Structure 1
Amino acid sequence: MNTREFKDMDLSAYFIGPKGENADIFKELTEKLINEHIGYRQNFNAEDANSISEFEKTTPEFTNAVTNMKETLNELSRKMRSGSIPWTTAGRYLAHMDNETLMPAILAYNYAILWNGNGVAWAGSPVSTLMEEEVGQDLAHLNGYNENGWGYVATDGTIANISALWMTRNVASIPFAVKAVCPELVSDKSDWELQNLSIKECLDLLDKTGDKKNEVKAQSARSGKNLQKLGKWLVPSTMHYSWQKALDITGIGEDNLVVLPVDEHYRVDTKKLEEIIQENADNHIPILGVVAVVGSTEEGAVDHVDKFVEIRDKFREQGVDFAIHVDAAYGGYGRTVYLDENNNFIPYKDLKDTFKEYDIFTENNQFLKEDVYNAYKAIGNTDSCTIDPHKVGYIPYNAGGLAIADTRMKDTLTYYAPYAFQEGVAVPASIGQFTLEGSKATGSAAAVWTVDRMIPLNISGYGRLIARTLFAARKFHDFFNGQKFEVNGKTIISYTVYDPDYNMIDWVYKEEGNNSLKSMNDLTQAFSAYTSSAKGGNLYNLDIITSDSNFSPATYGDAPVKFIESLGISGDEYYKEDKLQILRASTMSPWVYDEKSFNYWAPRIKKAIQGKLELISTNENIL
């Protein structure tokens, strides 16, 4: 029985460290694992002769090959050192969703691929396939899919999103396939009623077909039939571009994409969501599904998942149903902050005391909002969830993830390759028959499995790690908001665009007294250029690194207008310029997590900003 006290373990031990502080541990464990693997090779049928003789290793040809390998790897090292973004830096990297990965994940990934690189099926990768099955259960439980959930390590969030729509499409088409094969089972239902069965009702109906189940599946959306009867797919304007790919690939079609407007906090406007669903229902246009984003990639916004569920419950009373998918590729691990060590949701009223017990958020509790808490809690009432370990799980790429609430959903996808899977033959686990991918790296599943057993998916483990990044987001938000710089006789002020839900912050730079949105956009964009590879010079010497994006009326509607007007700029400028240019930072660094560490980095970052603004003043016709 595992009696380890995870909350008493120092998370800093699990990283190599920005300056290689734990390099000796990394080298020690790497050497140990390699030696164990080599020993296994040597001892497997030990009587077998060596395939490479000692004499061969002394030949000029062999020596030439070794020299070639060394020189090529030296070239690789030079290129990587000179051309890579130094995202492992502790406080200076304020850009994309990249940061230092966990040391045990790196070790597990590299170790696993020494044994077998391909995790397609149990027959070829029995150990890692079982690991992936366990990880899938971990992801399902993390999302509250406790009774009948299933999950797997997808290649990335895009594949997970496509797979979620693929499953939802197939499940929603089951009633029409049953009508073709076993019409007596649905003879009392109209097409409109068949279009509005819940996922559970569709799967229950499939189970009732008995030995005709495969015939029904063959008549489902897999056949290409009835695709246009399945309805609309509703996605927030903050959506990841993968949803357009998913609609294309699955045959639902981009014409069935409905983009949901967001409010000034960049969450879906749930009042308008309800109006859109009602309008479609009034016109007998079905809704296939609705997507809630938890941790949007531009803003880190967390949609009101709980209100999505309430809206569905309301429409069920009038015979309208649809799937709810949560795209939590970026924000999903945030749920660990709210789970106790028994993986139960901590009551909101107990959070303050619980955080104190686990020594997180010791400054205050202001940035853990009740509406965000409610959104995370409601994920357990949805149908599927994308959640990527390779983002805020700090696992090496490629390790996306998908979890579903009803394991039967995956059975609507099943295809069998005789050499890999045999229908009806029981094996401990087989993942590939249910997934879009075929062959994929065993290292990803091994990495996630290893870390999940060292850093639990609750407040004692990942919750403490995620809390570090949420602390940093709050501190940097407050640090940037209203910060002033004197440059060439002008005052430059930075403003944060909104209050963070997660560990993403967006901000802009504005010249005091200059109420031109174009000027503010130009200055903000120039700052991005001088803090990135565009104009920042040698990547290795950058003293602050940021990324940028923009909010356009076509995507965001009037959501940014209130912020723009709060700066004294006319809202009309937003439509004239067709964008609000922003700087964007995912504060994923695990090294800015308390007052002491923040107070170390804050003056250094401020000095770096001052230097960049002075460069812009000197080199650009902006200030």
Structure 2
Amino acid sequence: MSAAQPFSALESRDHTLDACFLGPYGENDALLERLIVEFLRDHVYWRRNFHPEDPPAIATGAAQHPDYLAFESRMRRELHLLSAALKKSVPFHSPRYIGHMASDLLLPGLAAQILTLPYNPNNVSEDAAPVTVDMEVQVGLQLARMLGYPHDPVQPACAFGHLTSGGTLANYQALRLALALKAFPVALRAARVPQLELPPDDWSAFNLSHADGIAVLEAWQTWLAAQPPTERAHWLKRVDDERVEQRGLVGFFAAHPQLRVPLVLAPVTAHYSWSKGLKLLGLGRDQLELLPTRGMRLDPSALRGTLERCVRIRQPVLMCVAVLGSTEYGTIDPIDEVLAARTEAQAHGLGFSVHVDAAWGGYLATLFRNENGTLRRREEVATEYVQFPTPAVHAAFAALGDTDSATVDPHKLGYLPYGTGAFICRDHRAMALLAERADYVFHTSTPSDYLARYRSLGQFIPEGSKAGAAAAAAYVTHKVLPLDHRHFGRLPRATIRAAEAFYARAQRFALDLADCVHALVPFAPDSNLVCLALNPRGNTSLAGANAFVGALHDTLRCDPGQPLQLKEFFGSVTSLRPEELGLVETARILNALGLDLATLNHDGENRRLLILRHTLMNPYLIDHENGISYIDRYFEFLGRRVQSLTVTDASRPTLIRKAGIG
């Protein structure tokens, strides 16, 4: 894309967005206030109309009692102190904030969450949340439709999803489900269940495809249901005693010594929650094998080579993780290639799950989804942008529906309050393997109806208690803004356009300041996250470049010790590491920045390159109402900071000492 290419032809004011948020200037305060007051009063009326014959428990004169007044005074004081302290918070709402994955909150979700909080539903089961637990199950179906998973509860292979505290817990759930499904056929063989067609050996049983594993589970459930009650209880216990959930990893693999503990394959760009998850499940960090990338996107040839090795040495694989929008760079892995590699491995007897960590990029799928749920053609999507989506990006989103599970974070590109992550699996039938029996909370029957089954939500999820208000926020938001390109897609569309404008402006910035700084976008953006690498002219050491970017970041990071208004913009940093980049990419980037590869210290402090990271979530970065581009303003600000950290003499630029370089 040319740095000089105009964006005016693509940009137009979207008045729907005007009503979506409280607004950078609090423009919609009256709307939010009306909603809160209206539904607070409605909640009070609900309380008063529940047995209105009961007298008020708090006397009308209580508000004049000295103890009441003293309590009110203390409460007001602490709330005022809290309000004052919160003024030091990071201004996520402002288009001047382009740091981490946070932005303003959508009004439908914010209002729905505030409205629901006084009811305080606990989505562990319908007994504690008769309304919001259904909403949570519906949110799972809404997200499944967005991803291209089957989403009709009448169909046996319908998807299932639930909310979590964040993407980390959703990733844990993916690991739990994959391990349960992978190990279950082995448990059936060990229990010697009669009349079932099972694989001939443990290796084959441990390496069934996802669909074949579910077929074995269904065959077992059908057989079990046909047994007399006494026999049913006997065989249920016998199989449960052989399951990995009962034996534990040590006991399970000791009972099946021909099996190795399975690997989890993920790109080096994967979130650190995968390391935490393997530790938490007891699989161990050694079982996480990080694969190299090309341009910070998983390298399919490296994946194929690893799978060939696993087939050769009979090393099981639990799961391959593909990242749909990496946390650091927003890059998108070739999900279609991962699925193709899985098909090839399955032909050689190596089966495993494919999980998509779409915590960041999940809601970008709305850009590719028609109102009727079908996939949009790349050519149709591309008419709205300069470069997005590349053929590789479109192919990745088109392949989402064939994966086994996904993580999506509504509290990121869904613009909902923390913590609202989500886990979605393509076929809900496998969830039976995660069910926990707890008769004091859950009904003992197993209803066939999809919604009735998952009203006992706590049986299937890692949490015990969980907030129903978060489910209400997500459900209402998705109803107001359905998850397709004509509705919710308006939000990511605005931010992708902003990312393209940012990318073009970064190229112009590099040309305008070429006499004093090397500037480079190391990877063309796949999504709405753009990084910028910088190195002052004349500097060749990695230590010097990192000190320079560190000095720039000092003016962009949150500083609670200073008044908020002193900050012009908020940004973040990340690092490029040779072990992630590979030698070719490392050399390309360092050479483009004028850095000497020999200054890269693989064992010391300067074994990474510090770069600026910009998350472009705010839909008002280009303010059409006032003719303001905060992207232009940011680069003007950055230019001033760069020039203040460098001075030029007759021979070459020299770095000012306060930057820590010289």
| TM-score between the two structures when normalised by the length of structure 1 | 0.92
Q: Which residue is equivalent to 1:208?
A: 219
Q: Which residue is equivalent to 2:373?
A: 343
| CA distance 1:109–1:484, change in 2 (3 Å) | same
The answer as to 2:190 corresponding to 1:180 is: yes
The answer as to 2:610 corresponding to 1:600 is: no
Match of 2:290 among 259, 268, 271: 259
- What residue identity is the alignment partner of 2:19? A
Deviations for 1:192-214, whole angstroms, at most 9, x for unmatched residues?
A: 21121012212221222232456
Q: Which residue is equivalent to 2:8?
A: none
Quote how far apart the aligned CAs of 1:541 are.
2.5
SS in 2 for 1:581: strand
Quote how far apart the aligned CAs of 1:595 are.
7.4
Q: Which residue is equivalent to 1:163?
A: 173
Aligned partners of 2:644, 2:333: CA distance in 1, in Å? 39
Match of 1:294 among 288, 309, 324: 324
Quote how far apart the aligned CAs of 1:430 are.
2.4
The answer as to 2:612 corresponding to 1:591 is: no
| Bigger shift: residues 209-218 or 469-478 | 209-218
| Bigger shift: residues 395-404 or 224-233 | 224-233
Q: Which residue is equivalent to 1:220?
A: 243
Q: Which residue is equivalent to 1:4?
A: none
Question: What are the within-5 Å matches in structure 2 for residues 418-497 of structure 1?
Answer: 418-424=439-445, 426=447, 427=452, 429-481=455-507, 483=509, 491-497=516-522
| CA distance 1:598–1:296, change in 2 (3 Å) | farther
Q: Which residue is equivalent to 1:411?
A: 432
Q: Which residue is equivalent to 1:236?
A: 267
SS in 1 for 2:480: coil
Question: What are the within-5 Å matches in structure 2 for residues 226-375 of structure 1?
Answer: 226-227=252-253, 229-263=260-294, 265-352=295-382, 355=383, 361=384, 364-375=385-396
Deviations for 1:549-570, whole angstroms, at most 9, x for unmatched residues?
A: 1122344443433222223323
| CA distance 1:166–1:56, change in 2 (3 Å) | same
Aligned partners of 1:597, 1:560: CA distance in 2, in Å? 42
Aligned partners of 2:279, 2:104: CA distance in 1, in Å? 34
Quote how far apart the aligned CAs of 1:229 are.
3.7
Aligned partners of 1:159, 1:529: CA distance in 2, in Å? 32
Deviations for 1:281-325, whole angstroms, at most 9, x for unmatched residues?
A: 101111111000000000001000000011111122222211100
Aligned partners of 2:127, 2:315: CA distance in 1, in Å? 45
Quote how far apart the aligned CAs of 1:439 are.
0.3
Q: Which residue is equivalent to 2:578?
A: 553
Aligned partners of 2:561, 2:631: CA distance in 1, in Å? 20
Aligned partners of 2:143, 2:241: CA distance in 1, in Å? 30
Q: Which residue is equivalent to 1:151?
A: 161
Indicate if the aligned counterparts of 1:485 and 1:610 stay in contact, CA closer than 8 A: no
Aligned partners of 2:181, 2:115: CA distance in 1, in Å? 38
- What residue identity is the alignment partner of 1:605? Y
Q: Which residue is equivalent to 1:581?
A: 610
Aligned partners of 1:598, 1:609: CA distance in 2, in Å? 20
| CA distance 1:496–1:197, change in 2 (3 Å) | same
Indicate if the aligned counterparts of 1:544 and 1:609 stay in contact, CA closer than 8 A: no
- What residue identity is the alignment partner of 1:196? N
Indicate if the aligned counterparts of 1:553 and 1:575 stay in contact, CA closer than 8 A: no
Aligned partners of 2:243, 2:626: CA distance in 1, in Å? 56
Quote how far apart the aligned CAs of 1:238 are.
0.6
- What residue identity is the alignment partner of 2:326? S
Deviations for 1:352-385, whole angstroms, at most 9, x for unmatched residues?
A: 4xx5xxxxx3xx4312111001001101111000
Aligned partners of 2:532, 2:626: CA distance in 1, in Å? 22
Q: Which residue is equivalent to 1:513?
A: 538
Q: Which residue is equivalent to 2:204?
A: 193
SS in 1 for 2:516: strand
Aligned partners of 2:632, 2:268: CA distance in 1, in Å? 36
| CA distance 1:40–1:315, change in 2 (3 Å) | same
SS in 1 for 2:462: coil
Deviations for 1:424-466, whole angstroms, at most 9, x for unmatched residues?
A: 1544622111000110111110000000001111101121211
Q: Which residue is equivalent to 2:661?
A: 622
Aligned partners of 1:491, 1:119: CA distance in 2, in Å? 57
Aligned partners of 1:517, 1:76: CA distance in 2, in Å? 43
Quote how far apart the aligned CAs of 1:112 are.
0.9
SS in 1 for 2:286: helix
Indicate if the aligned counterparts of 1:482 and 1:495 stay in contact, CA closer than 8 A: no
Q: Which residue is equivalent to 1:125?
A: 129
Aligned partners of 2:499, 2:265: CA distance in 1, in Å? 30
- What residue identity is the alignment partner of 1:199? H
Aligned partners of 2:53, 2:47: CA distance in 1, in Å? 12
| Bigger shift: residues 478-487 or 147-156 | 478-487
- What residue identity is the alignment partner of 1:323? S
Q: Which residue is equivalent to 1:498?
A: 523
| Bigger shift: residues 50-59 or 227-236 | 227-236
Indicate if the aligned counterparts of 1:33 and 1:111 stay in contact, CA closer than 8 A: yes
Match of 2:421 among 400, 406, 409: 400
| Bigger shift: residues 570-579 or 56-65 | 570-579
Match of 2:112 among 105, 108, 111: 108
Aligned partners of 2:528, 2:14: CA distance in 1, in Å? 24
Aligned partners of 2:82, 2:349: CA distance in 1, in Å? 61
Aligned partners of 2:30, 2:241: CA distance in 1, in Å? 56
| CA distance 1:26–1:618, change in 2 (3 Å) | farther
Q: Which residue is equivalent to 1:612?
A: 641
Aligned partners of 2:444, 2:504: CA distance in 1, in Å? 58
Q: Which residue is equivalent to 1:65?
A: 71
Aligned partners of 2:148, 2:515: CA distance in 1, in Å? 53
- What residue identity is the alignment partner of 2:181? V
SS in 1 for 2:123: coil
Q: Which residue is equivalent to 1:358?
A: none
Quote how far apart the aligned CAs of 1:598 are.
8.0
SS in 2 for 1:94: coil
| TM-score between the two structures when normalised by the length of structure 2 | 0.87
Match of 2:94 among 75, 89, 92: 89
Q: Which residue is equivalent to 1:3?
A: none
The root-mean-square deviation of aligned C-alpha atoms, in Å, is: 2.4
Quote how far apart the aligned CAs of 1:593 are.
5.0
| CA distance 1:536–1:579, change in 2 (3 Å) | farther
- What residue identity is the alignment partner of 1:109? Q
Deviations for 1:182-234, whole angstroms, at most 9, x for unmatched residues?
A: 35536651222112101221222122223245643442220214356451110
Q: Which residue is equivalent to 1:136?
A: 140
Indicate if the aligned counterparts of 2:322 and 2:333 stay in contact, CA closer than 8 A: yes
| CA distance 1:139–1:530, change in 2 (3 Å) | same
| Bigger shift: residues 595-604 or 212-221 | 595-604
Quote how far apart the aligned CAs of 1:9 are.
6.6
- What residue identity is the alignment partner of 2:269? T
SS in 2 for 1:483: helix
Match of 2:30 among 24, 27, 44: 24
Match of 1:380 among 397, 401, 405: 401
Aligned partners of 1:268, 1:446: CA distance in 2, in Å? 36
Unaligned runs of 5+ in 2: 1-12, 151-156, 225-234, 254-258, 646-655
- What residue identity is the alignment partner of 2:104? E
Indicate if the aligned counterparts of 1:468 and 1:590 stay in contact, CA closer than 8 A: yes
